[in-house]
Every structure is written in C-alpha cells, then in structure tokens.
Amino acid sequence: MIPSPNPPSKGELTRQAILAAAYPLFLEQGYHATSMRQVASRAGIAVSAIYNHFAAKQDIFSALIFDRHPYQHVLPILQRAPGSTLEEFAHNAARAMLTELENRPDFLKLIFIEIIEFQGAHMPSLFQTVYPQVLNLVSRFDTWDDRTRGLPAPIIIRTFIGFIFSYFISQYMTGPITGPARKDADDMHTVVDIFLHGILKPGEQQ
C-alpha cells in the first residue's frame, strides 16, 4: 500500500478538474469568450456542478491566477540560476527564463487576461504574495554591489526582468502566436550583453 498522506477528497479532485479544464480554455479564448458549458464539458461534468465548487465564473479565474501566475515561476528561476560572477548569473538566469518561456508560450497570457478583462483587479494582492521573493532577489544582487555603477538594486532587477520579458513579448508583437516560439539563443545573449555593458564602445563613455 502506498502511503498517501493527503488523499485528495473527491470534491477536491473535481475542483482540480474544473481548473484544469478552464485554464487552457481561458488562455486560448480569453475569459469572456469561454463559456461555463465549455468548462463543464471539458471537465466531464454538468454546468450546475461547477457551482458546487465555485460561486461564480470569475472565481475560477481568481483561483487560477493565484495558483498559476507567472511571477511565482519567474522569481524562483532567477534565484536558482547559478553563477559566481554577475556576468555568469545574468546569462544563466536569462537562459533559464528563456527556456521556461519557450516551454510555456502562454506564460504571460494569464496576466494579459487579468489586465484586459479584469482591469488588474487581482494585481495588488498578487504582488503582495511575491514581494518576499523580490526582496530575496534584491539581496542577491546586493552581493555584487561593488561591481555595479551604484545603481539601485530594484532598478537593476526591474530592468533585467523587463529585458527578458520584452525580448519574449516581442514575438507576440511582431508575428502570429501560433506554433512554438522560435528563439535565437545568440540574440538573447546579445541582449544580456547590452544589459551588462551597454551598447556603447568601451572608452566611449563621455
């Protein structure tokens, strides 16, 4: 007998089936274009059965955005990225994030839906849940304080994450979303290089 310390109740299994059914539907169609009947059908239950687990349609989205929002994946990836020097860390962290983004091209869609269809209503409480991890990352950047040009760590982190995100978002903004992300690791390397050294030639600083 395999010990199962937390045997999920049948109700919890159904709840998870509803979330698993709704998640890809929301990402592919958006929130308002997804019907409760679609979710129920994909979950293998009746529409009314959903309401035994969620009081309203929007509560399904609320549960999803707290369970699966991208920040809780991005921040641990950045923290786990190896590298004793700032350069190594930056390139490793960028590569790890790019790999994650390639494996999950819908990474940011949950946030986009939140912004467009919920007017960012969940954002404040969402930010609160990740704030401790942001502080952890700040302290890691403080390790290399002597290497940087005295720029505040929060601005560095914000710029770095913005770099990687914008590199990824640009695929959304220049072409069709369909198909897996075609990424050029060399381009990513160049972008990180700009982050570290800027676009100007050494010695050209005026």
- The binding site for its own copies (CB under 8 A) comprises 28-33, 86-87, 109, 111-113, 115-117, 119-121, 123-124, 127, 147-149, 151-152, 155-156, 158-159, 161-163, 165-167, 169-170, 172-178, 187, 190-191, 193-202, 204-206
Tell me, what amino acid is at 120?
A: G
Helix (H, G, I), strand (E, B) or coil at 206: coil
Exposure class string for 163-197: b at 16+ Cβ within 10 A, else e? bbbebbeeeeeeeeeeeeeeeeeeebeeebeebee
Matching residue, tokens 């109740």: 9
Q: Which is nearer to its own copies, 17 or 117 (CB)?
A: 117
Q: Which is nearer to its own copies, 36 or 45 (CB)?
A: 36
Partner from DNA, its own copies, none binding residue 47, C-beta < 5-8 Å depending on class: DNA
Binding string to DNA for residues 33 to 62, with x set by CB under 7 A, is what? -xxxxx-x---xxxxxx-xxx-xxxx----
Alpha-carbon Rg for the chain in angstroms: 21
Short-list 132, 191, 198, 125, CA closest to 161: 191
Q: Least distance to DNA from the beta carbon of 36, Å?
A: 4
- Tell me which residues touch DNA (CB under 7 A): 9-12, 14, 32, 34-38, 40, 44-49, 51-53, 55-58
